[in-house]
Structure formats: structure tokens, C-alpha cells
Structure 1
Amino acid sequence: MDEITTEIDSLNSEVIDHMTNWVDMLGGGEIGRYVVAGVVLLFVLVLKRVLAHGVIGGLRKLAHQRKHSTAAHVLDAFEAPVQLLVILGGVYFAVEILDLPKNVDAVLFELIGIFATFSVFWALFRSIEPLAMSFNNLAGRFGGGLGDDLRQFFIRAVKTLIVVIGVVVLLENWGIDVSAFLGGLGLAGMAVALAAKDSVANIFGGLTILADNLYKRGDWIETPHFEGTVEVVGLRATKVRTFAKALVTMPNAQIVDSPVINWSRMTHRRIKMVIGVEYRTTADQIEKIVEDIRSFLKNDDDVAQTNVAQMVHLSDFGASSINIDLYYFTTTTDWVKWRDIRNRHIIAFKRIVEDNDAAFAFPSQSLYVETLPEKMSEDMANKANNDRAKTTRQIG
């Protein structure tokens, strides 16, 4: 480490000596210093991108990394901070050559140090995305890749940590005693902590959702409070777009404490219906209808044949019909495709019933009257006789 420091000091002295020689070539004096300082600043401002790209390219070659490797992406993320460091280097040498008063030099060098510290944390901040992607790919090789929501959560958490540490370091560079400041919060800090307990509970709820993989963006979920498609799984809350296109925001702590149905995790989708045939349908007809429906389902590629139940049975004698229960699953879980399959099956079941010379029953009631008043009986009898006579004349 001491050798590196010595080399840097030697290089620094050498560069300053060269710039001093340039000043002497320009006749020395204050004007010569300003000219050289201006040339240095103009040089780094114009060529900052070229210089930064050269530094990054050199590091990439030094690491012997391929173009699309993790190190290459990380080094690409460093390019903008390196450009800032190049500019700061130019400012540093310009200040050195100007030979300003010591108090001005001290302020400028302190500012340069602060911006240099900022550029380091900026580089770390920008490198989180490619590092997280690399870690996710590495974990995926072992069958444990992170979900997008969990990866984004950790990216935000690490970035927040870098920002906090960076702010603390910068404050320390400014001479602010951060530890004393934090210790001086006292009761105010406790009050803030108590007020933030719900937020902390929601953050832990978000961690639970991500760790247990309860759901992710795009999943269709249902809770006692709402049903819809997950749009955002945040640190504090989950945002769900209902089927009425309204946006519901629910604190994570409340979701974790409630039963959650994740319909997107269905392996198959169920179809359940009842076919009611008339009571005048014979037993042979009913048996044939049941067998034809079973055969139809067995030979349909859209119907799941294994690992799920498939049942077609007579269920009961209804008030107006003999009922056939159908209970089976489709291979698809897509809602639109499922509705198309159900539509096709309903038409097919109707054809099966009609092909067996049977008919669907509909709710009906029969009214039996034991006695009628004498006058009403005579009127009804006369009306019936008149209707028969009229029918006879029409036929004749």
C-alpha cells in the first residue's frame, strides 16, 4: 500500500513539474498559470469520455473478461463516475498550477475530495443492477433463481444502504459528527420509531411475501378484501388492479395476515355443470347419454386426463328433471381459452342429448284440482264441447 502511495505521489509531482515547465514556456507569471490551467480544464472536459472509456477498456483487458460478462457490465456502470473523476483530476491539477492562497486551496481540495467520495459511491450504486443480475443467473443454475420482485427488493435495499453510508461518509468529510447527531436524537428518535411501527410491520410483511413467494407481478390473487391482478409488490404495500380496472393499494402486513388465493398457480381449470333431462327420458337413453358424454371427454385433448378427477354421474331426481353432474378439468388455465372450451362443450352436450332423442327439462308445475264449483264445471264443459265442435268443422 505504501508503495502505491509513493508511486501516486511521484506521478503527481511529475505532472505538476511538466505543467510548471509549460508555464515557464509561456513566460511564467499569473497569466501563464491561468492559460495552462484553462487548457487542462478544457482538455479534460472535451476528452473526459475518451479518457474514461480508455480507463474502462484497460481494466476490462486487465481482467481478461468477455464483452458480455458480469465484470464488463460492472465496468460499463463505472464509466460515468470515472468521467467525473477525470474532471476532478483536471480541476485538481488546475488548482495546483494556479498557486492560489492556502485557504482557497484548502477549500477547493476539500470540495474535490467530497466529489471524489461521491463518485466512488455513485459507481457502487450503479454497479448493483449488473451484480444482482449476475447473482440471479448464478442462483438459477442451481434451480434457485430469484424472482423479479425479490431481486428488485434487494436491489432497492442495497442501493438505500449505499446512499445512507455515502451520506454519512460525506457528512464526516464535512466535519459533522454523525454519531453525536444520532445520539442526540434521544426521545425524538423513540417517538419516530413508535410512529413508524406500522411501516416496519409492512416492510416485514413485504419480505414475507417475497421470501415465501406468495405471489408476484402479473398473478391473479383473491383475498377477503379484493380480487385482481398484482401490479406492484412494494416495500410497504401491494398494488392490485381489480377486474373493474380499479387500483387497490393494500398494506403488506394486512395481506400477510389474511388468506390469499393465488389463482395463477392453478395447474388445471375446473368445469362444473349440471345437465337436467326430462322425466320421460328412459333409463336406456340416460345410460347412453352418460356414456356418450364420458367418451367425448375422454377423447378431448383440451380435457385433463391425469392427476385430476373426471366425473360424469347421475346425481339426483330433481324437482323437474333427472340430473347428470359433470365435474372435470381443462388442460389450460387461461380464462379466455377456458371459456371457449366450455362454450364448445355445452354445444357438444346438447347434441349428445338430442342425438339420443331426449330433451332438456325446464322448471314446471302440475296443478291437480279435486273439485270445482258446479257453475264453473258446466262452463268449462261447454267450452270444451264448443272447442271440439269447432275443430271438427275445420277438419271437415
Structure 2
Amino acid sequence: MESFIENLRIIIGESSLNTLSLQNVGYAVGILFLFLIFRKFFSSCIINVLKKITEKTKTEVDDKIVQSIEEPLRFFFLIIGLFAAITYLPLEQETNQFLDSAIKTLITVNIFWLIYKLIEPLSFGFKRLSKAFGSSLADDLEHFFVRSTKIIIFFLGTMTILQQWGINIIAFVGGLGLAGAAVALAAKDTVSNLFGGLTIFADKTFKKGDRIETDFCEGFVESVGLRATKIRSLSRAIITIPNAKLTDTAVINWSQMTSRRVKMVLGLEYRTTSMQLRKIVKKLRTYLSGHKKINNKELQGVHLVNFGDSSIDIDLHYFTEPTDYLEWRNVVHQNMLDFKSIVESENVSFAFPSVSMYVEKMNEENIKLGRKKS
């Protein structure tokens, strides 16, 4: 008991202790004890009411929010108990000011603790990004948001508490600014990749599953993270490229094509007549205009373009509705078979590189003259 009284003298001062009566102390301790006992009961009653309300909703976000505020709510009732207990103690003005500041600090801590606990439940929006950009970017963005927001909340809470106690925070913030500049300089590449990932996300340059082509590689996007993007190359290997490089180079997104181009040349033999050429060109145009998987809204071209070394060339230029690579290849495959059937229907053959040699027949007189000269 003597040690307890000695501690009270140190905390609240000698003169304040002399004015305290046993009754005041008893009331204060009793009030504090009651709040310690019933704080769990009070908070549980409020939490149970909130849980009944949230159970009626379809989302789980409100359930997580209620779960997050449970501990700060209990601490809030403890603060109320401390405040109520102090009011029954006749203390000096300086001691009262000190305890008031302590109560304000506890309230500030509780408010920022509550905000700190609510950050993770309120980050549910990043889950929706996993379908578009893959779980990697969504998880990275969520972790980045949660960690950075928690750091900001902790920093703001610390600054608020220091200001409540009359501590000059300007010099403190200035020192943090110098330290932050040094860290930012050392982590320049990391920051560049971070902003590169945010740029890809904001501009919707590509998403998970897209086939892209860059100066570095070509393949399908496996995942988009805050630091780097993983691409499955056409040889099925994983290539990891820092986001800063992807934002500084041209990126071709083949998956965002509205239609896919086909360009080929049909080389026909020189023995093909002009009438046959007209019929073949007409049949090819009719075929393309009536094909269900050919995009007729785009410009099409079937024209004679060149008299080559070994063939008369017909240029074919059109667009398919399917943009998926394998489906596009299947359409082109069937088109080529049909093109060959059209050419063969006119009894025309495809040309191939060849060299024709013409040997002049010499008569007997030319042969005799040649012998006499020799």
C-alpha cells in the first residue's frame, strides 16, 4: 500500500494527493473497475446489433468492418471509464491539464487505431481487378494501398499526438524529408517500376491473357504486377520485364484488334487467259463478300497486281472477324483450300518458279557453212 501511495505522489503531485479523500479514490477506482468489467458487455451489445444488420446484406464487406471496430470500441469504453474516474478526483490544475492531455491522446490513438483497422476491409475494390489484370496486379495494388495507407495513418496519428503535447513537428517533418529524399534516390528504379505498373493499370494498355508484342518479346500476358510484368513467350518460356521498360517502349496488343488482316498473293501460270483471270477474280470477290467470318465492313481487295518472273499475281487483302490466333489460322486454312478450288474450277494451275529454254533448230545448209568455215 505504501508503494502505491508513493507512486500516486509521483504521478499527481504531493499537494493533489493531500486533497484526495479515501471516498474520492474509492469512487474513482470503482468506476474504473465497473467499466473494465462491463466494457466487453457494452461493446458486445453494440457489435451484436450491428452484426444482425449486416447479416441481412449480401456483401461480406460490412461484416469485416464490424469485426474490425470491435477492439477499438472496447478501448473506447475504457477511455470513458478513465475520464469518469478522473472527474471524481479533486486534483490541481496542472495535474488536471496533464490528465486531460493524456485522455485526449488516448482518444486520438483510438480514432487512428479505428481508421487503421478499417483500411483492409475497405480495400475490397481491388478484388474486382483480379478478373481483368490477374490476381498478381490486384494483390500487389491491394498490398501497396494497405501498407502505404497504414504508414500514412500512423504518421498522421504520431504528428497529431506530438502536436497535442506541444512538440514542434516542423523540425521533425524536415528531418523526415531529408531521410525520405535519400531513400527515394536509392529506390529510384523501384519507384519507376511502381509508377509503370500504375500507368499500365490506368491506361489499360493490356491485361491478363492478352497477346502483346514489344521490342523485347512477344507472347501472352501471364500477370501484371506493380514491379514487373510476366509474359509467356510463344516458346512457352516465362519472360519477366520491369514495368518501367514496358511504359517506355511501343507495345502492340494483338488481342485488342477489332478484326485481323489476311494478305496473300496467288500466282497463276502465264498460260492463263484473260477470260479465265476475270472469272477467277470475280469468284474470289464473291466468295469473300459472302463469307460469314470475313469482315465486310473493312476494305477488301482482290486485284491483278503484277506480271512476275514466273506468274501472273493476284493480290488478296481482307479482314477476318475472328481475332484469336488459332481461330484466325483455321479461317485462313479453309480460305486457302477454297481459293485453290476456285482456281482449279477454271482449269488453271498455280505457277511455280521455272526457267524456259528455247533451242533454235538449225537447217543442213547452216551446218555445212559452219563446217567449211572451220
Does the alignment pair 1:349 with 2:339? yes
Does the alignment pair 1:122 with 2:117? yes
Does the alignment pair 1:298 with 2:289? yes
Deviation track 1:160-186 (CA, whole Å, cap 9, x = no partner) reads 342113333565669999876554457
1:38: Cα distance to partner? 11
- The two structures have a TM-score, normalised by structure 1, of 0.62
Amino acid corresponding to residue 366 of structure 1 in structure 2: S
SS of 1:286's partner is: helix
CA distance in 2, matches of 1:123, 1:333: 44
CA distance in 2, matches of 1:130, 1:272: 44
Distance 1:302 1:207, change over 3 A: same
CA distance in 2, matches of 1:260, 1:81: 43
Of the three residues 67, 78, 87, the one matched with 2:57 is 67
1:211: Cα distance to partner? 3.2
Q: Larger deviation: 81-90 or 200-209?
A: 81-90
- The two structures have a TM-score, normalised by structure 2, of 0.66
Amino acid corresponding to residue 320 of structure 1 in structure 2: S
What are the equivalent positions in structure 2 for 1:145-294 lying under 5 Å apart? 158-168=145-155, 183-184=174-175, 188-294=179-285
Distance 1:177 1:125, change over 3 A: farther
1:257: Cα distance to partner? 2.0
8 A contact 1:73–1:130 mirrored in 2: no
Distance 1:148 1:223, change over 3 A: closer
Distance 1:224 1:332, change over 3 A: same
1:327: Cα distance to partner? 0.6
SS of 2:69's partner is: helix
Amino acid corresponding to residue 119 of structure 2 in structure 1: L
CA distance in 2, matches of 1:167, 1:82: 17
CA RMSD, Structure 1 to Structure 2 (Å): 4.6
> Could you say which residue in structure 2 is the equivalent of 1:311?
301
SS of 2:113's partner is: helix
Amino acid corresponding to residue 191 of structure 2 in structure 1: V
Structure 2 residue runs without a partner (length 5+): 1-25, 84-98, 363-374
What are the equivalent positions in structure 2 for 1:351-370 lying under 5 Å apart? 351-368=341-358
8 A contact 2:192–2:244 mirrored in 1: yes
Distance 1:265 1:42, change over 3 A: closer
Amino acid corresponding to residue 268 of structure 1 in structure 2: S
1:255: Cα distance to partner? 1.9
Higher relative contact order (CA 8 A, sep 6+): 2
Structure 1 residue runs without a partner (length 5+): 1-15, 22-32, 97-105, 137-146, 373-396
